Amino acid sequence: MLKKIALVLLCALPISLMAQEAKLGHVNSQEILSLMPERATIEKTIADLQTQWESELVKMREEYTSKIKEYQAKQATMPESIKTARQAEIGEIEQRITTFNQTASTDLDKKNRELFNPVVEKVKKAINEVALENKYTYIFDLSAQSIIYQSPTSNDITGLVKKKLALK
């Protein structure tokens, strides 16, 4: 008898869960991130770093160009051993430039993530708070383009999150 009651309850449980209406909403986190006051400071910091990297790269390229011009101008009168040494030197400069470009790109990406992560976490926290306060079951992020269909009656909570973060 106890097994039959448990079986009926197990069968009835999914039906009762289906009867509850899920409250869905969507948000555009990129729009919110673009309005965050911290964004301007972070972008300036990244731009300053990028300028520093670029100026150093310009110096390296000038050195490279200078070495090539010097080599081409004196190539005809150089002994073979000096030609080989100069070619190796030019090759080293090319390698340094390539390595420098890769390092600069990696460092800028790392710094960008490092600076933006706290802002992203702040927005995520605000989205979670709005979802809890308004009893949403799911929130979809439109900027992730993970929605195949969006109902016209879908609830856009972007405005509520902006209000929560005191953004215009």
**94 falls within a domain:** yes
**25 falls within a domain:** yes
Residue 1: band (very low, low, confident or very high) from pLDDT cuts 50, 70, 90: very low
**15 falls within a domain:** no
Say which range, 6-10, 51-55, 70-74, 81-85, has the weakest mean pLDDT.
6-10
pLDDT of residue 146: 64
Quote the number of domains for the chain. 1
**1 falls within a domain:** no
Task: Tell me the percentage of the chain whose pLDDT exceeds 70.
Answer: 83
- Predicted TM-score (pTM) of the model is 0.68
Say which range, 18-27, 41-50, 52-61, 113-122, has the weakest mean pLDDT.
18-27
φ, ψ of residue 166 to 5 degrees: the values are 60, 45
User: Which pair of structure tokens corresponds to residue 20?
Assistant: 């509850």
CATH number, domain containing residue 160: 3.30.910.20
pLDDT of residue 40: 94
Structural domain containing residue 101: 21-164
**37 falls within a domain:** yes
